[in-house]
Amino acid sequence: MEALPNFTSKSNTPLQLLLFVDKRPSSNERIRQIQTRLTELGADYPFDLQVIDVSEQPHLVEHFKLVATPALVKIHPEPRQTLAGSDLVGQIERAWVPWRQSVEQYIQSSQLQNSQNGGKSENDFIGNLSSVNSVAYVAEMTRLSDEIFRLNQEKEELQEQLQFKDRLIAMLAHDLRNPLTAVSIALETLDLANDPTDERSDRLTPAIVRQLIRHARAQAKALDRMITDVLQAARGNAGKLQIQPQKLDLKRLCQDVLHDLQSQFEAKAQHIVTDIPSDLPSVYADADRIRQVMTNLLDNASKYTPDSGTIEVSILHRTMQKVQVTICDNGPGIPEENKEKIFEDRFRLERDHAKDGYGIGLALCQRIVRAHFGQIWVDSVTSQGSCFHFTLPVYRA
C-alpha cells in the first residue's frame, strides 16, 4: 500500500477531524478522494485533520466505537459526529456547512464568555482549547487502562500460582513424610536379616520379608504418584497427557490398589465392600494412569468416610464398548452447586481447606479418564455420601 499523504496538524483550530483508515489496497483511492475534498472545502476555512491507521491505534477505534473504515469523526466542537459508509465524500459535503456554523457559534459563545471573565484575546482562547488536542491523551489513557487491566490480571494469576506453590510445599512436606517413614522402617527391618548378631533376625520369616518388600514397594509407588501429580499440575492443561494403553485386567488392578491402601483402611476400621464380576472383560487403558485414578478416588473415599464407615467398589460391564467403575463412600457428600467444579484444577471445597490435599487430584483424574475417551462424574447427596463413576473402553483384540 502506498504511503498516505501527510497533513500538517493545525493545533490551534477549533474544528478537529479524525480520519480512520486501514491498509487495504482498495482503500487508497477512496482515502485520497476524502482527503482531496476536505482540502478543497477547508481552503478558506481552517481545520485540523489527523489520519489514523486503525491497525496502529486499536485503542482509539475502541474508544470511538467504530465498526467500519474509512470513517471520519468530528471530535470538536461538540457534539461528536461520525461519518462512515460508501458515500463518505457526499456525507462530508452535506455536513461541512453545519460544521462550519457550529464552529462559528462556538467561537462567538466562547469569546462572549471570555469577555465577561476579563477579556482574553482570540489567540489566547484558541490556544487553551484543551479538548481540541485531546486525541493523543484519549489514546494514551485508553491504552494505559487496558495495560493496567492486563497487568492486574497477570498479578492475580502470579499471586495464585505463588500461593498454590506454597500450599504444595507445605503439603508435600507433610504427605511425603509418611511413606518415607514406612519405607525407611521396612528397609531397616529387612536389614536385620543380614545381621546374625541381632536376635530379632530369627523372627524374619520368608513370608514376612516378602510382605515388607511389597509394603516398601507400595509406599515407593505412593511417593512416585505424589511427585507425578505435582509435576502434572505444574504443567497445567497446556501439556498433553501422555498415555500408553494396552490390554488391562481391571479386576486385578483394582484388587492391587485395595491391597496397597489396606493399612489406610484398617487405621480407620473402615469396611470395604466389592462387587466385581468374575467375567469382567479386559479394558484398553494405561495401567499406571488408571492406578492413579483408582488410588486417588479410594484415598478420597477413605479420607471422607468416618471411622467404621463403609466404602463400596463396584465394576459394571455397562455396554459392549464401556466398563464403568464406581467408588462410593458414606461421608459428608458434595453440595449440588459444586458437583462440576470439583473436577476443576486447584478447586477445593471450603470445608477442605484445612485438610491435606493439593486440589489437583480430581482434575488430574478427569484428564486421565478423558484421555481414554471415557467420562467421569459424581452422584452425591449431602450428609449421605458420594459415588464417583468413570468409564473405560473395552479391549478389542
Return the closest-CA partner of residue 241 out of 119, 352, 345, 381: 345
Which of the listed residues 75, 109, 131 is the one where a domain comes to its end? 131
- Biggest CA–CA distance in the chain, Å, is 115
Looking at the chain, the whole-number percentage of residues with pLDDT higher than 90 is 19
Is residue 34 assigned to a domain?
A: yes
Q: In this model, does residue 302 exceed pLDDT 80?
A: yes
Q: Is the model's pTM score more than 0.75?
A: no
Query: Measured between alpha carbons, how far is 368 from 251 in angstroms, rounded to an integer?
Result: 19
Q: Is residue 163 part of a domain?
A: no
CA atoms of 27 and 284, how far apart (whole Å): 59
Number of domains in the chain: 3
Distance CA 229, CA 233 (A): 6
**7 in any annotated domain:** no
Residue partners of 295: CB distance under 8 A and separation at least 6: 222, 225, 257, 260, 261
Q: What is the mean pLDDT of residues 24-28?
A: 75
Among candidate residues 236, 189, 233, the one with its CA nearest the CA of residue 213:
189
Q: Which three cell numbers stand for residue 378?
A: 459424581
Is pLDDT at 202 greater than 70 in this prediction?
no
For residues 143 and 244, which has the higher predicted lDDT (pLDDT)?
A: 244
In angstroms, how far is the first alpha carbon of the chain from the final one? 62
Instruction: Give the residue with greater pLDDT, 173 vs 86.
Output: 86
Identity of the residue numbered 117: N
- Residue 343: per-residue pLDDT: 79
The domain spanning residue 38 has which CATH number? Answer: 3.40.30.10
* pLDDT for the residue numbered 127: 43
Q: Is residue 199 domain-shared with residue 283, that is, in the same domain?
A: no
In this structure, the answer to whether residues 252 and 384 fall within a common structural domain is yes
pLDDT of the residue at 260: 82
DSSP 175-241: HTHHHHHHHHHHHHHHHHTT-TTSGGGGG--HHHHHHHHHHHHHHHHHHHHHHHHHHHHHHGGGSPP
Cell triple for 248: 488391562
Could you tell me if 223 and 253 lie in one domain? no
On whether residue 28 sits in a domain, the answer given is yes
pLDDT at 163 over 60: yes
Q: Report the sign of the C-alpha dihedral through residues 55, 59, 62, 66, in that order.
A: negative
Q: Residue 120 falls within a domain, yes or no?
A: yes
pLDDT tens digits for range 121-156? 444 444 444 444 455 555 566 667 777 878 888 888
Same domain, 229 and 276: no
Tell me, yes or no, whether 271 and 226 share the same domain.
no
Helix pair angle (250-260, 287-304), 10° resolution: 50
Average pLDDT over all residues of the chain: 77
Co-location of 26 and 49 in the same domain: yes
Contact 186, 218 (CB under 8 A): no
Residue 59 within a domain: yes
Does residue 336 share a domain with residue 221? no
| Residue 22 located in a structural domain | yes
Picking from 238, 259, 278, the residue at the C-terminal end of a domain is 238
Decide: 251 and 314 in contact? Cβ < 8 Å: no
Residues 254 and 366 in one domain: yes
For residue 355, the domain's CATH number is: 3.30.565.10
- CA dist 34 and 40 (Å) reads 10
Residue 292 and residue 376: Cα distance in Å, rounded?
A: 14
- Same structural domain, 113 and 221: no
pLDDT at 301 over 80: yes
Between these two residues, 173 and 8, which has the higher pLDDT value?
Answer: 173
Amino acid at 55: S
Q: Which domain holds residue 227?
A: 176-238
Identity (one letter) of the amino acid at 171?
Answer: M
> Is residue 337 included in any domain, yes or no?
yes
- Judge if 346 and 214 occupy the same domain: no
Q: What is the pLDDT of residue 156?
A: 83
φ, ψ of residue 52 in degrees (nearest 5): -125, 125
**Cβ neighbour number for residue 275 with a 10 Å cutoff:** 10
pLDDT (0 to 100) of residue 324: 94
Asked if pLDDT for residue 63 goes beyond 70, the answer is yes
- With a cut of 80, say whether residue 20 has pLDDT above it: yes
Residues 6+ apart with CB under 8 A from 19: 31, 34, 35, 38, 49, 50, 51, 52, 70, 71, 72
Overall average pLDDT of the 275-282 stretch: 92
Strand-pairing partners, residue 385, are 381
Same domain, 82 and 197: no
Q: Are residues 385 and 257 in the same domain?
A: yes
